[in-house]
């Protein structure tokens, strides 16, 4: 499964893949960081699809994911995954983060997505410790890929530090 994982330091909106995973908020409202960048680059159709999901479902709970079209992005789809806000580690944050990755991967298989890109969910404004998040993300993705039709998972990290943490974690664990 290791051959299916790649790491890139860069901007997630520039990726040519089937799906980009958005580190979304539960209101699917487009915020800062990755979320804001995806909504800006993807254009109004993503906002409109998120509005419809909000009306139908009331948003997206923490640990879950929903899918929209990719709008103006190079990706066909955007999977909006809601990770947890870090509250010290005693409020089920690890399981909620793993679930956000897992639910994204399940949607990818459901939509026959072969190439998918993840950011580091919850490690920006939500404050999840990057080292801990990287371990959870990599373990969840690698475990899932054993029985999946997904051909490539990319982690696109914006900062040098995040990129280095993911590479070191990957090399240490796998």
Active-site positions? 35
CA distance 87 to 6: 30
For 41-71, b/e burial (b = at least 16 CB within 10 A) is bbeeebbebbeebbeeeebbebbbbbbbebb
Q: Which residues contact 58 (CB under 8 A, 6 or more apart)?
A: none
75 and 108 in contact (C-beta within 8 Å)? no
CA distance 121 to 3: 22
Closest CA to 67 of 16, 22, 101, 97: 22
Closest CA to 21 of 130, 150, 167, 128: 150
Give the Cβ contact number of residue 113 at 10 Å: 23
């Amino acid at each position: 499964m290791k051959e299916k994982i790649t790491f890139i330091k860069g901007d997630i909106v520039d990726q040519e893949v089937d799906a980009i995973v958005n580190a979304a908020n539960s209101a699917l409202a487009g915020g800062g960081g990755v979320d804001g960048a995806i909504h800006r680059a993807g254009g109004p159709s993503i906002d409109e699809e998120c509005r419809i999901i909000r009306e139908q479902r009331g948003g997206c709970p923490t640990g879950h994911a929903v899918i929209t079209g990719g709008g103006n992005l190079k990706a066909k789809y955007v999977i909006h995954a809601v990770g947890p806000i870090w509250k010290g580690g005693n409020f089920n944050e690890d399981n909620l983060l793993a679930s956000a990755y897992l639910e994204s991967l399940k949607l990818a298989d459901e939509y026959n997505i072969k190439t998918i890109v993840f950011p580091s969910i919850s490690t920006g404004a939500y404050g999840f410790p990057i080292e801990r998040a990287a371990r959870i993300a990599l373990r969840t993705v690698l475990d899932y890929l054993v029985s999946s039709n997904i051909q490539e998972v990319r982690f696109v990290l914006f900062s040098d530090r995040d990129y280095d943490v993911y590479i070191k974690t990957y090399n240490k664990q796998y």
